[in-house]
Amino acid sequence: MKAALLLGFLVSLSFANLVRAEESENLPEGIIKESFNLRSAGHSSALNLYLKYPSGGKDAVQGVIAICKYGDREIEFDLTGGSQHFGYLLEFAEQKQLAMVAFGQPSRKGWNRTVSSDQLSSREAAQQDRKLDSLAREWSRTVGQFARKHEIPEKGWLMYGLCGGAQYAHRIALREPERFKAVHVHYGGSYDIPTEKAKNLFWLVTSRADEPAYIAAQRFYRQARALDYNMILKGYTSRNAPRDFSEEDESNLKNLSMRFFDYALRSNEWDRTSEEAYTADYVNGIVVPAASGGWIPREQAIDLPTREIAAAWGKISESN
């Protein structure tokens, strides 16, 4: 009995050192922030978690949508409605009465931002996996504690990751899928190898189609497809400038993201066989009813479960 009590004390002491909340000041009204020390993978790094309740308050929360961006700059202001990248998600969260949690990619991230895991040697991949497994477990414990404290759901989260945040978000979701329902990652420069345990999540992977990041995204999609993932891939061409979308593509991207998250909120399974299901060919950029899409090679076929999602992905061809 004494040994068990001592072990419990040591575990709780270790976790107390692992996670340390700090008071925060000068935040926009309605934003809650807590800071934690993560000590996984042999180093210490900060994890700042930001929370915004919907207008109905804590008691009105119907779920959680999390956003992850590169670094930790101005995240609190991304939750106030002025963000170019996240503003539409704030509107979506308010419409669906979702709490918003935001955080940044850690400074010591444990992976090469320009190299995907399938490009590593087996030794390098194993070393990276150990680091990321430790980081993901610690992240999951920390957000679980944060969720319980602030009385928001611990599981079934929607996740959106942008750029370096996309790289972090999908690596977390692959390792701790029990926290999530759906994941949208946009413009990630590198990708991890899909895990068997994360295949039941709903996935949306979007990228600029005229940059090397899209090549890595396609490899990730094909690997996920081989494991029967519920995943959508979409590439957008930069038309105005080398690093900018056209207004039309920006609007289409946000529409697809919202349609995807809305489907995840109201669906327990990814329905590939309903009359509303469509199939897209990401190589040729076409969308056809699922019943007539059997000719599309499996590795480049994308299952779209509703007409709304299909129309947001691309122009539907009814004649094929």
pLDDT at 39: 79
CA distance 142 to 149: 11
Q: Are residues 73 and 115 in the same domain?
A: yes
Show the tokens assigned to 86. Answer: 């996240």
- CATH number of the domain where residue 108 is located: 3.40.50.1820
Q: Are residues 186 and 317 in the same domain?
A: no
pLDDT at 241: 47
Q: Are residues 138 and 158 in the same domain?
A: yes
Residue 234: give the domain boundaries: 2-266
pLDDT in tens, 52-94: 999 999 999 999 999 999 988 899 999 997 788 899 999 999 9
Of 240, 266, 292, the residue at which a domain comes to its end is: 266
Element (H, E) at 148: helix 122-150
pLDDT in tens, 188-201: 989 999 999 999 99
Q: Are residues 36 and 15 in the same domain?
A: yes
Q: Are residues 90 and 206 in the same domain?
A: yes
Which whole-number Å values give the CA distances from 225 to 219, 246, 273, 299, in the listed order? 10, 29, 17, 7
Q: Are residues 170 and 290 in the same domain?
A: no
pTM of the model: 0.90
| Count of domains for the chain | 2
Of 266, 288, 305, the residue at which a domain comes to its end is: 266
Q: Are residues 318 and 222 in the same domain?
A: no
Q: Are residues 208 and 295 in the same domain?
A: no
Cα four-point dihedral sign 95, 96, 97, 98: negative
Q: Are residues 260 and 278 in the same domain?
A: no
Q: Are residues 54 and 177 in the same domain?
A: yes
Show the tokens assigned to 60. Answer: 């009105």
Per-residue confidence of the chain (320 residues) as pLDDT tens digits?
444 444 443 344 334 344 444 445 689 999 999 999 887 755 567 899 999 999 999 999 999 999 999 988 899 999 997 788 899 999 999 999 999 999 998 765 678 878 888 888 999 989 989 989 999 999 999 999 999 999 999 999 999 999 999 999 999 999 999 999 999 999 998 999 999 999 999 999 999 888 888 999 999 999 999 999 999 999 987 655 445 667 788 889 999 999 999 999 999 999 988 889 999 999 999 999 999 999 999 999 999 999 999 999 999 997 65
Q: Are residues 204 and 73 in the same domain?
A: yes
Of 266, 281, 308, the residue at which a domain comes to its end is: 266
Q: Where are the beta strands (DSSP E) in the chain?
A: 31-38, 45-52, 63-69, 98-104, 157-162, 180-186, 202-208, 230-236, 278-281, 286-289, 301-304
CA distance 116 to 96: 35
Comparing CA positions, the residue from 176, 177, 210, 205 lying closest to residue 191 is: 205
Q: Are residues 261 and 301 in the same domain?
A: no
